[in-house]
Every structure is written in C-alpha cells, then in structure tokens.
Amino acid sequence: AQSVTQPDIHITVSEGASLELRCNYSYGATPYLFWYVQSPGQGLQLLLKYFSGDTLVQGIKGFEAEFKRSQSSFNLRKPSVHWSDAAEYFCAVGPKYFGNEKLTFGTGTRLTIIP
Amino acid sequence: NAGVTQTPKFQVLKTGQSMTLQCAQDMNHNSMYWYRQDPGMGLRLIYYSASEGTTDKGEVPNGYNVSRLNKREFSLRLESAAPSQTSVYFCASSVPPGGTDTQYFGPGTRLTVL
C-alpha cells in the first residue's frame, strides 16, 4: 500500500533563513507527487506537483521540490523564508488514475517563522 | 468564480443527530472528494466521485454517505453523528474523471459532535 512520511511534525526557522521540509513516500509504480500548503483556518492550496520529466520542479511563492527516485523522497525547499510562509505543509502521493489506490496525504509539517 | 464552496462553516451536533454537509464547485470539474482532517493524521479520504453519477469509498467511509447531485454538487451526510466524527471536513474537486491531478479545496467545515 502506498504511504507518505513527513518525519518533522514541527519546524521553526528564522525569517530569511533557508528551509527544507522532508517527504518520503512508498509507492510501487511511478508516483504523482504534490506539496500543498494550509494557512490557519483555510483549505489546502497546491504549491507544486511532479508527474514526470525534470526532477526539480518549481512552484508558487518561491518554493521548489526535487524528486529523488533512489531515495523515495520529494523534499520541499525555499532559499529564504518570509513570515507569511508560516503554515502547515502536506506532501501527497497518488497513482495516475484512481483504482485500488488514491491520493494519500502525509501527516503534515507545521512551520513556524521567528523574526 | 468562487471555486469550491462549503456550507456550513461550523456546526455543533449532539450524538445521534444527523446532518448534511454541502459542497459545490463552479470550475466544471469532473471529480469531487470529501476528506476529514484530524490532528496528527493529515487528510484522509472519506468518499470520492470520479464523475457525475458515480461514487466510491475512500479510506474512512464508515458512518458517512454521499450524493453526487449533479456535476457541481457533492454532499456528505452523517446519519447518526458520533463523537469520533468530530473533525474538520474538506471538499475538493479536480478536472480529470478519476485521475490524479491538482485538487482544489474548499475552506472546510468544522464539526463538533458532543
């Protein structure tokens, strides 16, 4: 069965510092991978996605993620965080077409930004 | 273009009461989804509808029923609410029928069952 692990429940970084959020997945075939962000009291918004091709994908708000098949990872990065990046971040993995498997979300990483 | 809308935003129920959560999307998407979000558990899929007229169970369907009323609307019903159903419920939609692609989320319904 497919699964997603986000090993860091909570991360605190200083404004202007770099950020990396970890995501490891377990999936039998080529995965479709996503990063979503959830601001307090809001729904989820897509940051970026990977289906195929270039393993380094760019997203909105200056985020990027790199797909590493050998490590089963899809880590999210940002070179310099802003206070507005404080939110919860979810990694997700899924098949191309829903069947016995569907989109599976990780448990999330809460990001706190300190001045 | 409102995207995905959900009603109500907040609801408090007593154990055994029933209610229906409403969801509508105006993006002409084929697929719609219901998730629940609980602390430390991320989002879990309750039911989804790959296209109008079809529904299928997700990871945690017990205690819920759904109706895909038309292409725009997908409702979630709790027939006899239980405290374990206290959660935040999100509706989402995406373009492809039954395929994985960007999902657009509503703002959520915060449900408390006493």
User: What is the per-residue pLDDT across A44-100, written as a single tens digit (0 to 9) for each?
Assistant: 999 999 988 889 999 999 999 999 999 999 999 999 999 999 999 999 998 877 776
DSSP conformation class of B66: E
Q: What's the whole-number mean pLDDT along residues B101-109?
A: 91
Chain B CB contacts of A95 under 8 Å are 100
- Residue contact B40–A107, C-beta within 8 A: yes
- Residue contact A105–B98, C-beta within 8 A: no
Residue B39 at interface with chain A, using a CB cutoff of 8 Å: no
Q: Is residue A11 very low, low, confident or very high in pLDDT (cuts 50, 70, 90)?
A: very high
d(CA B52, CA B60): 21
d(CA B23, CA B92): 8
Each residue of B60-92: b (16+ CB within 10 Å) or e?
beeebebebeebbbbbbebeebeeebbbbbbbb
Question: Which two structure tokens, joined as six digits, stand for B30?
Answer: 């084929």
Nearest by CB to A96, from B4, B44, B100: name it.
Answer: B100
